[in-house]
Structure 1
Amino acid sequence: MSAQALARTRARHPEAIAEAAARRTRRRALIGESGRLMIVAADHPARGSLAVGGRQFAMANRLDLLERLCLALSRPGVDGVLATADILEDLLLLGVLDDKVVMGSMNRGGLAGAAFELDDRFTGYRPRDLARLGFDAGKLLLRIDYDDPASLDTLEAGARAVGEMAERRLPVFVEPFLSHRVEGRLRNDLSPAAVTTAIAVASGLAGTSAYTWLKVPVTDDPDDMARVMETSTLPAVLLGGDTHGDEEGAYERWRKALQLPTVQGLVVGRSLLYPADDDVAAAVDTAVGLL
């Protein structure tokens, strides 16, 4: 389906999106036969984060992004996708979400580079939206800057979302960071101490953690990563992030971290959808092979 065809359907038959969601074949369990979870992430554009490596607007071409996502979702071992409503609805219309884990991105209000970036409001999916559409999980970003009072609003909203997801028995993946500003730009602290603290805070959100998963970055040192993951018994997936050109190094760090007891899989976006050699299938297959 072309961009023109998608736009035509949206303009003339907007009800087709809900109908496609209702027809979608859902998988019975979040984790399939492999015992692992492999999710491709594409929720970056809604936060104004369009760059990949040195390409400033790599993710701005929507049809190109959809083609890459469709290719990734077609590869063996890929369980599903994480994205915002606009992207997931396009994928529904394209008919590629049957038997896939569909994970909705919930808070995208902390726009990249904005003065209000830490006031990361829930401008995406709400728990009731995910339940209504029959989707399988949600994801929220939780960045905490001890010097920015807006972080408290994000913490409170995040706790409320975790509770509301648990009421509907829907898994919610919390991606926690301790953050700070460097020359006006927000930076996530990936030191073992910071990641440990962020995990501890995220694990205690809301009145129950029964449906909470963690989505955590991989530290450079495998020994550090092992100690970091001792902070919680919650199931976790590894955040892929940008490899900054060192794909082999990133794969090796993921492979070692996947051996830790609470780690259940990978959620990777830009590094698989926009690899340096532009071979999406090969990048996805390599990541799946690590599982």
Structure 2
Amino acid sequence: MPDRISDERYQRLLDLRAERPQAIAEAYAARKRPPRLLNDRGTIFLVAADHPARGALATGGDPLAMADRRSLLRRLVTALAHPDVDGVLGSPDVIEELLLLGALEGKVVIGSMNRGGLDGASWTMDDRFTGYDAASIAACNLEGGKMLLRLDDHDAGTATTLEGCAQAVSELAAHRLMAMVEPLPYHRDDSGALVLRTDVGSLCRAMTVASALGTTSAYTWLKMPACEDPDTVYACTTLPCVVLGGVAEADQAAQVAFWARTLRQPVVRGLVVGRTVLYPADGDVATAVDAAAQVLRAASATGLR
């Protein structure tokens, strides 16, 4: 993969971090914003980069794959250079680094809000808000905020997260900013490990709970997985939805193909993908991004829009 961040460019980032912290506020204020969330095809394609903030560093069998920050930024800059990539979803540190690198001009930027449920922690379901809040998202001129809502009926941490997400939805709506809620139903297996529930009933329940959060749903979007029965699951809401990429699989072509049917659902407006395109098995980020872009283009061309 070509290095889109030269030694000189990376050193300048490090120097700005140490010597001119005010450069970050200047970059937020100066960023050219996109005219609207959706592109000319009526869709949105975002690259996700908020996993490290929750301590989730593993992918593709490498427990520290996402720990190397220069490598992560290089992959993000490569992905953002694709003409079909509309923007990024990330934690404050990553967003600010991309701003200082000049990679977010004209891009949609969604700030990640609750990253307190650390990967592997006993309190992982208690996803406290430790990143952006609605006020900072508005002050930084971002297009919206994203929150993770993992639902486990046997973990009391879910209730705290529900309350926090409801408050964030209301606060973002007061600023007329997108609230992207990612409701994912989980249970613990016999070993205690969290396992995503992918059955229709669990996904429908998660979607309906998330749709009703806050004092208004006017600015709420849902971020949901592709599934075996999208006709039933995605009929649960009129809210705009984006499909999440999930954990990178060895057979990326099959994984991308699996997204296609869900992407054709009338409420689905786009795709938010992280590790699948940033850390493909063959290391070719540009080709992985292009494959995801092509499946979204095809779905939008054959859908109801």
> Is TM more than 0.5 here?
yes
Whether contact under 8 Å (2:59, 2:248) holds in the other structure is no
Counterparts of 1:136 and 1:243 in 2: how far apart (Å)? Answer: 27
- Tell me whether 1:68 sits opposite 2:75 in the alignment: yes
Q: Aligned AA for 2:13? A: L
2:186 alignment counterpart: 179
1:22 alignment counterpart: 29
- Tell me whether 1:211 sits opposite 2:216 in the alignment: no
Offset of residue 149 of structure 1: 1.3
- Tell me whether 1:202 sits opposite 2:207 in the alignment: no
1:144 alignment counterpart: 151
Provide the TM-score with structure 1 as the length reference.
Answer: 0.97
- Tell me whether 1:274 sits opposite 2:282 in the alignment: no
1:244 alignment counterpart: 249
Offset of residue 28 of structure 1: 1.3
Q: C-alpha deviations, 1:79-134, integer Å up to 9, x for none?
A: 00001011000000001101100010000000011000011000010000100000
**SS of match in other structure, 2:138:** helix
- Tell me whether 1:93 sits opposite 2:105 in the alignment: no
Please list, as runs of the form range in 1=range in 2, the aligned pairs for 1:7-18 lying within 5 A after superposition.
Answer: 7-18=14-25
Whether contact under 8 Å (2:230, 2:261) holds in the other structure is no
Offset of residue 72 of structure 1: 0.3
- Tell me whether 1:256 sits opposite 2:261 in the alignment: yes
Whether contact under 8 Å (2:184, 2:206) holds in the other structure is yes
Offset of residue 199 of structure 1: 0.3
1:189 alignment counterpart: 197
Q: C-alpha deviations, 1:177-198, integer Å up to 9, x for none?
A: 1112222222221222111110
Counterparts of 2:193 and 2:11 in 1: how far apart (Å)? Answer: 37
Counterparts of 2:123 and 2:74 in 1: how far apart (Å)? Answer: 33
Counterparts of 1:88 and 1:80 in 2: how far apart (Å)? Answer: 11
Structure 1, 207-216 or 143-152: larger mean CA deviation = 143-152
Whether contact under 8 Å (1:173, 1:214) holds in the other structure is yes
Structure 1, 279-288 or 243-252: larger mean CA deviation = 243-252
Counterparts of 1:47 and 1:243 in 2: how far apart (Å)? Answer: 17
Counterparts of 2:162 and 2:141 in 1: how far apart (Å)? Answer: 26
Counterparts of 2:10 and 2:128 in 1: how far apart (Å)? Answer: 30
**SS of match in other structure, 1:250:** helix
Q: C-alpha deviations, 1:216-243, integer Å up to 9, x for none?
A: 0111x2xx11110001110000010113
1:123 alignment counterpart: 130
Q: Aligned AA for 1:26? A: R
- Tell me whether 1:42 sits opposite 2:49 in the alignment: yes
Counterparts of 1:196 and 1:93 in 2: how far apart (Å)? Answer: 40
Counterparts of 1:249 and 1:272 in 2: how far apart (Å)? Answer: 13
Counterparts of 1:146 and 1:95 in 2: how far apart (Å)? Answer: 43
Q: Aligned AA for 1:133? A: C
Offset of residue 3 of structure 1: 4.1
- Unaligned regions of 5+ residues in structure 2, if any? 1-7, 297-305
- Unaligned regions of 5+ residues in structure 1, if any? none
Whether contact under 8 Å (2:188, 2:195) holds in the other structure is yes
Counterparts of 1:101 and 1:127 in 2: how far apart (Å)? Answer: 16
User: Deviation above 3 Å: which 4+ runs of structure 1?
Assistant: 1-4
**SS of match in other structure, 1:82:** strand
Match of 1:82 among 89, 95, 109: 89
Offset of residue 244 of structure 1: 2.1
Counterparts of 1:230 and 1:178 in 2: how far apart (Å)? Answer: 17
Whether contact under 8 Å (1:113, 1:186) holds in the other structure is no
